[in-house]
Amino acid sequence: MKEITEFLKIPKSRIGTLIGKNGETKKRLEKELKCRITVSEFGEVDYSSKDSIYQMKLKSIIKAIGRGFTCDEALVLLDDDYVFRMVSLKEYALKSEKKLIRVKSRLIGTDGKSRKIIEQLTDTTVVVFGKTVSVIGKYDDVGTASEAIFMLIEGATHRKVRILLERRAREKKYVL
């Protein structure tokens, strides 16, 4: 089978997280996903694998680390039940830095309260980094968290979002 090579760029500040202490994270990824990873000092990441499924997982993990997730948070993507979703805030903050700051503040909340509530009620991990907000979790949970995130971006009250999340959490509990 032919090896597939792809390229991603991550922020320079995230290179250390991708490589890990003494290269441990990079080595772990290369071993578990049977791939090769090369990281430049500028944040350019070349990665290749002969297995297209591993290639897709690796792409999600690299993107997640690049968007602010810790190595451990990103590595849950090795599990087939978990997905990564990233939303660009640029299109919602429309040209204004003040609007971007306001949207990010609404998503994070005072002392991270809004973000924590979304995470707890959807069993996901949410990271606001740069001009993006990203979520890792099981497919349906990521969908619910994304819905809450879009509601906050569009100006819904935190109370309304919490009510939605609590209702979805109850529904999920009864389905299981």
Q: Cα-Cα-Cα-Cα dihedral of 45, 50, 56, 60, to 10°?
A: -30
What CATH homologous superfamily does 82-175 map to?
A: K Homology domain, type 1 (3.30.1370.10)
Q: Which two tokens stand for residue 71?
A: 């190595």
Integer distance in angstroms from the first to the last C-alpha of the chain? 41
Tell me how far apart the alpha carbons of residues 6 and 23 are, in angstroms, rounded to a whole number: 20
Strand stretches in the chain, DSSP E: 4-9, 35-39, 44-49, 82-88, 125-129, 132-138
For 106-126, how does the pLDDT look when each residue is reduced to its tens digit (9 = 90+)? 999 999 999 999 999 999 999
Tell me how far apart the alpha carbons of residues 54 and 32 are, in angstroms, rounded to a whole number: 9
| Domain boundaries, given as residue ranges, for the chain | 4-78, 82-175
Tell me how far apart the alpha carbons of residues 76 and 114 are, in angstroms, rounded to a whole number: 23
Q: How many of the other CB atoms lie within 10 Å of CB of 155?
A: 9
Mean pLDDT score of the chain, rounded to an integer?
A: 92
For 140-162, how does the pLDDT look when each residue is reduced to its tens digit (9 = 90+)? 999 999 999 999 999 999 999 99
Q: CATH topology of 4-78 equal to that of 82-175?
A: yes
Task: Kindly report the pTM of this predicted structure.
Answer: 0.91
Is it the case that residue 56 has pLDDT exceeding 90? Answer: yes
Interhelix angle 113-122/139-153, rounded to 10 degrees, is: 150
Report the CATH architecture of 4-78. Answer: 2-Layer Sandwich (3.30)
The contacts of residue 15 (CB under 8 Å, 6+ apart) are: 39, 41, 43
